[in-house]
Amino acid sequence: MALALASGAVEVVDLTHTLDPDFPVIILPPEFGQCARFRMEEVSAYDHRGPGWKWHNISMSEHTGTHFDAPVHWISGRDVANGAVDEIPVDRFVGPVCVIDCSAGAAEDEDYELTVPVIEAWEAEHGRIPADAWVFMRTDWSRRSGAAYLNMREDGAHSPGPTPEAVRFLVEQRDIRGFGTETVGTDAGQGMHYNPPYPAHYILHGNGRYGLQCLAHLDRLPATGALLMAAPLKIRNGTGSPLRVLALVPGEAG
Ligand code: 23J
Ligand code: MN
């Protein structure tokens, strides 16, 4: 593996947004608590507060920026064994990823749904999704910024996501490890109107599977063959965590 990296046969791709106070966070109905944005406060910058060093104190939600969702994030996963970020076995943080390109559909329809037929069409082209893989829904949503990212309207956010049937299919028929999106949640902006509400959160986490959200640059991944590295911070009883998401992909020299 080290030789393949050195020769350029394998390249490292960064799928992470920069943590920045301006990066949007999910907005829930006002009766619920809200997700904190990223904040950074300077402690010193080679000055009288610390002449030889610069550093910051930072704060944010577990669900700010590019982040991992653990099973205990959702009520359906509250009793899942090893369901908090500090309890998940580390081998779960490295594994294969399949990328379903929904970018054309999402460009036409901001409420585009990943359905079972879309997954079956992908498999007809690329082969069956192997057990224990991550599945990513590419929408190119990570190219949006500011208000267009959440895309809030009178009736809430509008962004693409999976149907309950699609999530159930991926978990029950394909035994996936987790599901990742370029949008602010693993669920569609209008995901509260499905049965169950927020089906990706409900079904994934109730079955001990993981989520990744606010991913970037999924257009840089092949449909199959990439190796994902996504290790959340080891927060005791943490429900999720911002993280650096990296993928190893076949390189130019490969
Ligand atoms: C809390 C409540 C609803 C949702 C979410 C969080 C997320 O999407 C998240 O970041 O996990 S939909
Ligand atoms: Mn989350």
Among 167, 198, 213, residue to substitute to test ligand 1 (most atoms within 8 Å of Cβ)? 198
Q: In the prediction, which pLDDT does 254 show? A: 61
- For residue 75 and ligand 1, the question of a CB distance below 6 A is answered with no
Span from the CA of 185 to the centroid of ligand 1 (angstroms):
6
**246-250 and 10-14 beta bridge pairing:** antiparallel
73: annotated active-site residue: yes
* Closest alpha carbon to 85 in 247, 211, 174: 211
Spatial distance between the Cα atoms of 220 and 211, rounded to a whole number of angstroms: 20
What string of DSSP letters covers 100-120?
A: EE-HHHHHH-TT-EE-HHHHH
What is the atom index within ligand 1 of the atom nearest the CA of 67?
10
Span from the CA of 67 to the centroid of ligand 2 (angstroms):
6
Spatial distance between the Cα atoms of 234 and 207, rounded to a whole number of angstroms: 21
In this structure, what token pair is assigned to residue 43? Answer: 């402690």
**Ligand nearest to the backbone CA of 192:** 1
What string of DSSP letters covers 28-63?
A: --TTS--PPPPEEEEEEEEETTEEEEEEEEEE--TT
Span from the CA of 244 to the centroid of ligand 2 (angstroms):
14
pLDDT tens, N- to C-terminus, the chain (254 residues)? 789 999 999 999 999 999 999 999 999 989 999 999 999 999 999 999 999 999 999 999 999 999 999 999 999 999 999 999 999 999 999 999 999 999 999 999 999 999 999 999 999 999 999 999 999 999 999 999 999 999 999 999 999 999 999 999 999 999 999 999 999 999 999 999 999 999 999 999 999 999 999 999 999 999 999 999 999 999 999 999 999 999 999 998 76
Catalytic one of 63, 67, 73, 217:
73
- For residue 73 and ligand 1, the question of a CB distance below 6 A is answered with yes
Enter the pTM of the model: 0.97
Instruction: Give Cβ neighbours of residue 193 (< 8 Å, ≥ 6 apart).
Output: none
What is the atom index within ligand 1 of the atom nearest the CA of 187?
12
Spatial distance between the Cα atoms of 200 and 188, rounded to a whole number of angstroms: 9
Q: In the prediction, which pLDDT does 1 show? A: 79
